[in-house]
Chain A
Amino acid sequence: MNRERFSQWIALLRPGDFLTLGAATMVCVLSMLMLWRGGAPDKVVIRAGGEIFAEAGLSRSQVIEVPGPLGLTRIEIEPGRARVASDPGPRQYCVRQGWLTRSGAAAICAPNEVSLMLGGGASDYDSLNY
């Protein structure tokens, strides 16, 4: 298509049409950002003392026991979710977080140096530091 014919089409647009077009594009982008954020997680990464201790899929139920300086941290995995079932730490923050279901979600048992993180899908966070 040469430039003259292209400008013929552009001439059909009135000022308000550009406004409508812009609003429509905004709706597209916003709906993408709002509805396509995050995703279903598909794997669990368990770290102990900063090293990766285990990586497991989120498709079947299992219990993983992770040794740390204070004792055993018990991690429970069920289809689509995971949690820290018990931890020897004094304040139990990671246990009280309950089930993690979103990609990128993490539970950290700092005293026992164990962390649990869901991965896969599109995660909500690029990285977490502690």
Chain B
Amino acid sequence: MTPSTIEIRPTADDGRIARLAAAAIVLSVAEAAIPLPLPGVKPGLANIVILIVLMRWGWRDAVWVALLRVFAGSLLLGQFFAPGFFLSLAGQTASLIMLGLAMHLPTRWFGPVTLSILAAFAHIGGQLALARVWLVPHDGIFYLVPVFALAATIFGLVNGLVAGRLLKELAPPERDAGAAAVP
């Protein structure tokens, strides 16, 4: 075999993003095994990792981790390019935009819980918008909004608390804390 002329050297950043994305993917695959009464109502455990990445390494890294999670997670679950994948992508995109805006809130007053709840609401908002336009072109879908809103509030609070706790207990940013992000 001739040696390749192109050599890709992963930087330390690449390695860290890959590790964190792996943690997020593991959580979303594990979560797929939890039986839930309604499609679309999920704890969104991977968002814990995304919140930690956002608050420690910034928005750009969070986007990388979140999108890698959506693509690789749906490949692993066998729903790549299925409706669920597009819903997930729409929700994730909306929540990343929301996080990009919300991270500029004064941190003295607003912590990970606020970010988590806002992201959860943006997530269901993006999903519902796509579902309304594409999958269920009928206003009847909005009948489910209260259920989704309640789920977003509860899971947003819990995920935010867990992310806040992990951020506190993780090693300082100089050391690579990627592996420790998975409890």
Asked if A20 and B146 make an inter-chain contact with CB atoms under 8 angstroms apart, the answer reads no
Residues of A within 8 A of B142 (CB): 35
Asked whether any CB of chain B lies closer than 8 Å to the CB of A14, the reply is yes
Asked whether any CB of chain A lies closer than 8 Å to the CB of B30, the reply is no
Asked if B152 and A13 make an inter-chain contact with CB atoms under 8 angstroms apart, the answer reads no
Asked if B111 and A35 make an inter-chain contact with CB atoms under 8 angstroms apart, the answer reads no
Closest residue of chain B to A33, judged by CB? B146
A27 to B142, CA, bound (A): 13
A14 to B145, CA, bound (A): 27
Residues of A within 8 A of B157 (CB): 21
Asked if A17 and B111 make an inter-chain contact with CB atoms under 8 angstroms apart, the answer reads yes
Asked whether any CB of chain B lies closer than 8 Å to the CB of A24, the reply is yes
A20 to B146, CA, bound (A): 17
Closest residue of chain A to B111, judged by CB? A14
Shortest CB distance B119–A (Å): 11
Asked whether any CB of chain A lies closer than 8 Å to the CB of B32, the reply is no
Main secondary structure of the interface of A (DSSP, over half): helix
Residues of A within 8 A of B121 (CB): 24, 27
Asked whether any CB of chain B lies closer than 8 Å to the CB of A50, the reply is no
Closest residue of chain A to B164, judged by CB? A12
Residues of A within 8 A of B113 (CB): 12-14, 17, 20-21
Kindly identify, within residues 108 to 135 of chain B, every residue whose CB is under 8 Å from any CB belonging to chain A.
108-114, 117-118, 121
Given contacts A16-B105, A20-B110, 7 further A-B contacts (CB under 8 A): A9-B161, A12-B161, A12-B164, A13-B113, A20-B113, A24-B156, A28-B153
Interface of B with A (CB < 8 Å)? 105-106, 108-114, 117-118, 121, 142-143, 145-146, 149-150, 152-153, 156-157, 160-161, 164-165, 168
Interface of A with B (CB < 8 Å)? 9, 12-17, 19-21, 24-25, 27-28, 31-32, 35-36
Can you name 18 A-B residue pairings with CB atoms under 8 Å?
A9-B165, A13-B111, A13-B161, A14-B108, A14-B109, A14-B111, A16-B111, A17-B110, A17-B113, A17-B114, A20-B110, A20-B114, A21-B157, A31-B145, A32-B146, A35-B142, A35-B146, A36-B146
